[in-house]
Amino acid sequence: MSVSASSPIASPCALTQGGRTLRRSLSRSGVGLHSGQQTQVHLHPAPTGHGRRLQRQDLPGTPPLHLSPDLVQPSPLCTQLVQGEVCAQTVEHLLAALGARGLTDVLIELDGPEVPLLDGSARDWVDAIDDAGVTLGPPPTSLPPPLPEPIWIYEGDAFVAAIPAPHLQLSYGIDFSAPAIGKQWHTWSPQTEDFGQEIAPARTFGLAHEVESLRSRGLIRGGCLDNALVCDGDHWLNPPLRFANEPVRHKILDLVGDLSLLGRVPVAHILAYKASHRLHVRLAQSLRSRGYA
């Protein structure tokens, strides 16, 4: 069975069920946010049980990365996977699209150190997946058990949590001193709201006064006003926004990408406040240690 581009939601429980692959291969290319390098990604169908593997085409003879929260290494402002000499940086937007469409069996070929940023969102990845089509594999032989109790990860006043709930739901809060952002909360329910419409278009964002400092540290060398929202105090340098609360929706996008390293996201209410990729991944690692993968 396949799902065409006219059926945007592969399944109401795609994030929790998985067991899908692409109907045909696809590719996208662009500039990496931090490296500034032009890279290309090919996504290929894979058999059931293959899992998500990432192969660095520019490092011949190296083994593929079997994507897992255990491979995440500290990196500012992005999620980076490292295994031996193989590294893949800024994977979260691509992983969010794969997770939201339930693609748990896919081969990712990358010809450089960083996944291209494209327009700063996951919209192009979702559109490409929907255009290629999704094939449903056999139903999973077992599902993760219900979450028996809440899991909380704290860092100062920031936190991320997984709370027992009958359906998957993700809620996020942010609080910035810049008036154009301020305090924002958003909840996304995948059972009733399509990721491709409600979350995927939300772009990465940054603060104008931090740009030069970040670039001096070798970061955001590929960032520009075409692939990131930039906030300068009480206004945006590159309006209009796609949503009134686009920044917090992008944080949900990042959270979906980081949790999708599990393969299947457990049924729970995922709650985050002022969190980071580091906290997202710590929650994913905690869930994995409890058998939610």
Integer Cα distance of 90 and 272 in angstroms: 20
DSSP 8-state secondary structure symbol assigned to residue 114: B
From the list 34, 269, 277, 280, the catalytic residue is 277
Integer Cα distance of 191 and 201 in angstroms: 18
Q: Count Cα neighbours of 93 within 13 Å in the Cβ-side half-sphere.
A: 30
C-alpha to C-alpha distances, 172 to 24, 27, 47, 108, 127, nearest whole angstrom: 34, 31, 35, 29, 24
Catalytic residue check, 250: no
CB of 224 closer than 8 Å to CB of 263: no
Integer Cα distance of 1 and 13 in angstroms: 16
Task: Look at the block and give the residue holding tokens 């590294």.
Answer: 87
Query: What is the set of active-site residues?
Result: 277
